């Protein structure tokens, strides 16, 4: 196990868990801008990203348990799990280079949407059809790229105006998704012996990032933090695409 890799995992996990604690999502988006470039395989990257994202979300969700709105989750969760199972099962047919290019294109599209198009779409979030579409998109993105959050963010922001309910429910979504993703990824062969060691290194980073993120939750503007992340996504996506 490379010490430089451990250091990178630690530093990226601190930053990603800080972002997740302040804005409610973004762990997978942030680390997947970097993990595929220094971890041995793409499969190992999404396996580790999902484990760390789920751990971060669990840590936050337990502290915000009373704010979780469970009734909002049912339809989205069901469609997410179905779509993610199919996408992870198909993932093995792609090569690392192809997946990195797909990831790059997806990062660019997500960044452009949240920077310029987020306020232009106002669907009816009470519609089962809309919830099904959101769950399916989230499952495809979660299964293939370890970032199920963006579609669910649109849903939670639109249906949960209270920021504590939004934060807690987003973390509950993330816990459920990533437990399921981890099981099916391990089943299709993305587990490696180094994963537990990197997870333990990242666990320390999670505590640090979440601690400082909690301190900044009331002070920092989530909008500003998200815009910084989206600009980084544009740069990283362009690099991966080319």
Give the pLDDT confidence score for residue 80 in this predicted structure: 92
Give the pLDDT confidence score for residue 49 in this predicted structure: 92
Domain ranges of the chain: 3-241
* Positions in the chain whose pLDDT score sits under 50: none
Give the pLDDT confidence score for residue 117 in this predicted structure: 64
Give the pLDDT confidence score for residue 225 in this predicted structure: 60
Give the pLDDT confidence score for residue 153 in this predicted structure: 79
∠ CA(73), CA(237), CA(108), 5° rounding?
Answer: 60
Give dist(CA 41, CA 198) in Å, integer: 14
């Amino acid at each position: 196990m490379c010490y430089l890799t451990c250091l990178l995992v630690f530093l990226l996990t601190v930053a990603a868990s800080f972002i997740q604690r302040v804005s409610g999502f973004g762990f997978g988006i942030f680390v997947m801008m970097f993990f595929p470039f220094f971890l041995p395989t793409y499969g190992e990257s999404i396996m580790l990203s999902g484990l760390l994202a789920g751990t971060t979300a669990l840590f936050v969700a337990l502290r915000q348990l009373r704010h979780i709105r469970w009734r909002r989750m049912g339809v989205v969760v069901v469609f997410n799990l179905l779509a993610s199972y199919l996408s992870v099962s198909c993932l093995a047919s792609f090569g690392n280079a192809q997946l990195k290019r797909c990831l790059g294109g997806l990062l660019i599209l997500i960044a452009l949407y949240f920077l310029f198009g987020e306020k232009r779409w106002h669907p009816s979030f009470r519609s089962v059809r809309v919830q099904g579409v959101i769950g399916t998109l989230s499952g495809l993105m979660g299964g293939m790229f370890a970032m199920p959050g963006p579609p669910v963010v649109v849903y939670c922001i639109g249906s949960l105006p209270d920021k504590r309910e939004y934060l807690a429910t987003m973390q509950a979504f993330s816990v459920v998704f990533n437990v399921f993703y981890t099981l099916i990824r391990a089943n299709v062969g993305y587990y490696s012996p180094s994963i537990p060691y990197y997870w333990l290194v990242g666990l320390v980073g999670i505590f640090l990032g979440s601690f400082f993120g909690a301190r900044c939750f009331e002070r920092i503007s989530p909008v500003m933090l998200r815009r910084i992340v989206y600009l980084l996504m544009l740069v990283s996506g362009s690099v991966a695409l080319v």
